[in-house]
Amino acid sequence: MKLKQLSLNNFRCLENKKIEFDPDFNLIYGKNGQGKTSLIEAVYFLATGKSFRTKKVKELTSYDKIRTIVYGSFESKLSGKTIAIDFNNDKKEYYVDKNKTKYIDYVGILNVISFIPEDIEIIIGNPSVRRGFFNYEISQTKNIYLKTLVDFEKILKTRNKLIKERKTNKELYHIYNEKFIEEGSKIILMRKEYVKNISRLLNLNYRKLFDANSELRLKYDSFIDNIDKMTLEEIKEKFREETVKKHDREKRYGYTLVGPQKEDFVFELNGKNAKAFSSQGEKKSIIFSLKIAEIDMLIKEKNEIPVFLIDDISSYFDEIRKNSILNYFKNKNIQCFITSTEKLDIEGKKIYIDKGRILSDE
């Protein structure tokens, strides 16, 4: 996929402007605090309706304004499309080719993968960070995952409510409990398959780009033991057993104690948990390999090459690694947006940002 154009209206500190992009490389450079990260954040927002650096999307709207609009046009394998988000006073409206669209059908149309300094949280943060990350990534490759997850979360909420109100002997609870097991098991199966595939790619990339002698794995820490070879039916059966086992405790605590909302993912470098044992540089390399593996997954599942965003490239890599990484993107024909405080010597479009003003030099 190639993002051809972006239009901004009241996005953070950036001026309202239409910007054209290079199909291969776009370097966004300028001094600290001028709006470089904001520009790639706008691309990310256009694709996902979210920010990569805050949960509070309201912060994206320029100070003193209430409405933000981003609009973009891109080329993909099949066709060209225009997409837009109109974000007005907490309400987001999504448009594809000028038609209003539900979020669930909007997300995944333009695929982006971002690599930002804060991504280190995927390793060092708590399990909910990893669940959030993988939920989003699996959704990008499998729309059905997102639909199942949305259903599951609604069911979980009701199940919690019924437990809290001490209604677990009621017919309604049993109906919800069955649905909970059914949808939860589907999530577990999809997570398990995803982790299996991505772990292999992760290891290949890490060895190719960073250290040929290392072994990197992603492990799925499910609340069900030994799920590697289990079928959906077997997962359901185990899941049911767990709910029975925990039933009395759940009644005492007043909420759900089992399920995919309690799981985790573990990165293991040479057999050791990266969160506890890997160095800063190793952690950055793990995350980068992960992001590259996401590209491979998207190509495999959707036959589409995503757009790649790298924030603050110099803070990650030395000169040699930087060049080998840029070559990697070039060979794979991946459109890149890279921010840097230096005007790097690379081919492509160079966009200079100064106090929110967006200036191209050609």
The annotated binding site for ATP is made up of 30-37
Q: Which does 59 bind (CB under 5 to 8 A by kind): ligand ATP, Mg ion, none?
A: ligand ATP
CB of 311 to Mg ion, least distance (A): 6
CB of 53 to ligand ATP, least distance (A): 8
CB of 52 to Mg ion, least distance (A): 11
Residue ranges in 9-38 that form contacts with Mg ion under rule CB under 5 A: 37
Q: Which does 281 bind (CB under 5 to 8 A by kind): Mg ion, ligand ATP, none?
A: none
Query: Interface with ligand ATP by CB under 6 A: which residues?
Result: 12-13, 30, 32-38, 59, 61-63, 341
Q: Which does 35 bind (CB under 5 to 8 A by kind): ligand ATP, Mg ion, none?
A: ligand ATP
Cβ proximity to ligand ATP: between 62 and 256 the closer is 62
CB of 5 to ligand ATP, least distance (A): 20
Gap between the Cα atoms of 195 and 203, Å rounded: 12
Cβ proximity to ligand ATP: between 162 and 338 the closer is 338
Q: Which does 12 bind (CB under 5 to 8 A by kind): ligand ATP, Mg ion, none?
A: ligand ATP
Cβ proximity to ligand ATP: between 32 and 226 the closer is 32
Residue 48 binds Mg ion, judged by CB under 5 A = no
Q: How many residues bind Mg ion (CB under 5 A)?
A: 1
Cβ proximity to ligand ATP: between 63 and 271 the closer is 63
Total count of residues recorded for the chain? 362
Non-local CB neighbours of 279 within 8 Å, separated by 6+ positions:
none
Cβ proximity to ligand ATP: between 23 and 49 the closer is 49
Q: Which does 38 bind (CB under 5 to 8 A by kind): ligand ATP, Mg ion, none?
A: ligand ATP
Cβ proximity to ligand ATP: between 33 and 281 the closer is 33
Bridge partners, residue 85, by sequence: 70, 94
CB of 94 to ligand ATP, least distance (A): 21
Q: Which does 108 bind (CB under 5 to 8 A by kind): Mg ion, ligand ATP, none?
A: none
The C-alpha angle with vertex 123 and arms to 117 and 129, in degrees rounded to 5, equals 90
- List binding-site positions: 30-37
Hey, how many other C-beta atoms are within 10 angstroms of the C-beta on 329? 18
Starting at the earlier edge strand, list the strands of the sheet with 349-354.
Answer: 112-115, 307-310, 336-340, 25-29, 349-354, 357-360
Cβ proximity to ligand ATP: between 66 and 175 the closer is 66
Residue type, 96: V
CB of 356 to ligand ATP, least distance (A): 7
CB of 9 to Mg ion, least distance (A): 21
Q: Which does 62 bind (CB under 5 to 8 A by kind): ligand ATP, Mg ion, none?
A: ligand ATP
Contacts to Mg ion by CB under 5 A: 37
